[in-house]
Structure 1
Amino acid sequence: MNRRWLCFPALLLPLAALLFAFGPFDAPRSIPNSSFGRGEVLHYKVHYGLINAADATIELSDDIHRVNDRPCYKATVTGRTIGSFDFFLRIRDTWRSYIDTTSILPQKFFRNIEENNYRKKETVDFDHLKDLAQVESRKKDKDEPKRGTFKVPNNVQDIVSGFYFLRTLNYDQRRVGEVIKVQGFFDEEVFNMDVTYRGRETVETKAGVIRAIRLTPKMPSNKLFRGENAISVYLSDDRNKIPVLIQAEMFVGSVKVDMYKYHGLRNRLNLVAKN
């Protein structure tokens, strides 16, 4: 797999790769969801050591969109470098998924990557009845698009929809140390990743002190992250299960993605009261 996906997007959404694969189906599955809804917006600061390196936003559109004759949430993730980082590592990335409101499966995925001089636009259309993904991509606007059709697992997720599906899980039923087997489709490949549930902790964020669920995705061997469990993802320990903090240990230093603002949550956030 191209290691580019392990860079900036991996710091924004490592939890998005926490994906489940279910058995075959003839009709859309139904996933109970009391965690998110239209109009939810989450804002983050990305810190490299003591430096504010980037801003990131994760949001659900106010409108329901119809894709492949299915009602879908439009979920968009954006990331951009700021300040001094913008001079030597300019990033303007947009990731978008149209997610079936009933099955929490992706119907269409889009990403527009601008990282220094690197450019890539990609669209993925999912056919969950045939377990196929049709990909169209190009690196420059004037290039002829590259097209391909790929076999995918049953109920496969993309990297954005998987983040929302993760939030529908009930962690009260999981044991500390339990490993969750996951699958997804990204960069024209099916990939597997194990995720370990580490229990509950209280974490400090710019939005306040929050009780959280800690998860550690097992990272493939690479030159960016220090070890298999280099990333910790913290979801709010409440019905929202929003990502409130991500910490990553890299060979070049520590990176922290810290939520500082939010609105449109479906439920009350589990903040710890100050004494």
Structure 2
Amino acid sequence: MKEDNRHQETIQCPVCLSNAFLWLLITLLALPFAGAKGQCVMENNAFLPGERLQMDVYFKWGLIMPKAGNVELLIDNAVNGPRNGNGQNGAAYRYRLLFKTTSMFDHIFKMRDTIDCHYSKEMQLLRSEKRVNEGGKYLVDDLKFTYNEGLTRVRSLRYNLEKTKIDTVLVSEDCMTDMLGATLFLRTHDISAMRVGDVIPFRIAVGRDRVNVRFRYAGQSIVEHGDNVKFKTKRFYMDIFDEAFTETKEAIEVWVSDDGNKIPIKIKAKLKIGSAEVKFRSISGNRHPLTSRIVIPSR
């Protein structure tokens, strides 16, 4: 298998910005998989096909905090997913992320990212395809997952229009997911029994690396959303061992809705080039009522 030198290219700020965006997207619904059963099998009691979640991304430098991008997360029934051993469509769900920078940020560093994840009916991740067009450069990450003998194996392929950059296999005794796939663990995990200080580690396949990530529960919190709306949330710290962040401990704070949907309401991150926030905008097709939302009557 063909592999490139991991130290061949010097990381530039736009690349750090790109990585930061991707790590922020991990947390859009994220929590660990301590409740996962068997070989990364999860029970879906949080969403239905047809759900659509929209978020806004902001970056802060000094006193200014402009809107940097828009995120859309879609869950649908899979139509043309990965094939199983019988040549049949083995996927039941398609989980898709669409991200684009705003027109203002397009002049700084234009980004158009798409991530497609296909899951079996048991909620096992089968394949993840990430296509990015960032700063005029096109790149594809293709991850194929198999589960047997108590191991998770990931065929990781990364390429652009000119060459293959990574072609390797990652193996883990623990359940391992991709960047976007990590986001479904919160929604399939019972967080009601978690206590302040609980720590749960997990792994994410990124290129040739198995990135270690862990979450720490920080308790309940109220998040303001506009002038007359508040959300009851549960707050988590996310520790990431990746070079895109200034510090690994408490690299990201996540506030998720304290209801059956467990959707992200607010995400805050410290980055090498400043800080970033992702804020909930809207949701449709949600399985459960958004009971965490509190509307304050106008005076």
TM-score (norm 1): 0.86
CA distance in 2, matches of 1:225, 1:153: 29
Residue 289 (structure 2) pairs with residue 274 (structure 1): no
1:56 paired residue number: 71
Residue ranges of structure 2 left out of the alignment (5+ in a row): 1-5, 85-89
CA distance in 1, matches of 2:78, 2:138: 29
For these two proteins, the number of residue pairs brought into alignment is 271
SS at match of 1:37: coil
Note the alpha carbon deviations across 1:235-271, whole angstroms, 9 max, x for none.
1110110112111133433311111111010000121
2:222 paired residue number: 202
Residue 159 (structure 2) pairs with residue 138 (structure 1): yes
Q: 1:40-119 residue pairs with structure 2 within 5 A? A: 40-49=51-60, 50-63=65-78, 66-69=81-84, 70-102=90-122, 104-119=123-138
Residue 265 (structure 2) pairs with residue 250 (structure 1): no
SS at match of 1:182: strand
Note the alpha carbon deviations across 1:52-71, whole angstroms, 9 max, x for none.
11111111124566534334
Give the superposition deviation at 1:44: 0.9
Q: Is the 8 A contact 2:201 2:213 kept in 1?
A: yes
Kindly report the root-mean-square deviation, in angstroms, between the aligned alpha carbons of the 2 structures.
2.8
SS at match of 2:184: helix
CA distance in 1, matches of 2:261, 2:29: 15
In structure 2, the CA distance between the partners of 1:171 and 1:6, relative to structure 1 (3 Å rule), is same
2:202 paired residue number: 182
Residue 261 (structure 2) pairs with residue 240 (structure 1): yes
In structure 2, the CA distance between the partners of 1:227 and 1:144, relative to structure 1 (3 Å rule), is closer
Q: Is the 8 A contact 1:21 1:154 kept in 2?
A: no
2:147 paired residue number: 128
Q: Is the 8 A contact 1:205 1:260 kept in 2?
A: no
Among 39, 48, 57, the alignment partner of 2:50 is 39
Q: Letter of the aligned partner of 2:134 in structure 1?
A: E
Q: Is the 8 A contact 2:166 2:207 kept in 1?
A: no
In structure 2, the CA distance between the partners of 1:119 and 1:66, relative to structure 1 (3 Å rule), is closer
CA distance in 2, matches of 1:163, 1:64: 21
Give the superposition deviation at 1:220: 2.1
Q: Is the 8 A contact 2:34 2:200 kept in 1?
A: no
Give the superposition deviation at 1:191: 2.2
Q: Is the 8 A contact 1:18 1:193 kept in 2?
A: no
Q: Letter of the aligned partner of 1:274 in structure 2?
A: I
Q: Letter of the aligned partner of 1:52 in structure 2?
A: K
Q: Is the 8 A contact 2:97 2:115 kept in 1?
A: yes
Q: Is the 8 A contact 1:20 1:182 kept in 2?
A: yes
Between 1:256-265 and 1:245-254, the stretch displaced more is 245-254
2:24 paired residue number: 11
CA distance in 1, matches of 2:177, 2:194: 21
Between 1:259-268 and 1:176-185, the stretch displaced more is 176-185
CA distance in 2, matches of 1:66, 1:227: 35
Please say which structure displays the higher CA radius of gyration.
2
Give the superposition deviation at 1:232: 0.7
Note the alpha carbon deviations across 1:102-139, whole angstroms, 9 max, x for none.
1x221011000111033211211111125321223212
TM-score (norm 2): 0.80
Q: Is the 8 A contact 2:176 2:202 kept in 1?
A: no
Between 1:42-51 and 1:248-257, the stretch displaced more is 248-257
Residue ranges of structure 1 left out of the alignment (5+ in a row): none
Q: Is the 8 A contact 2:212 2:241 kept in 1?
A: no
Give the superposition deviation at 1:203: 0.9
Give the superposition deviation at 1:45: 1.0
Q: Is the 8 A contact 2:268 2:277 kept in 1?
A: yes
Give the superposition deviation at 1:196: 0.5
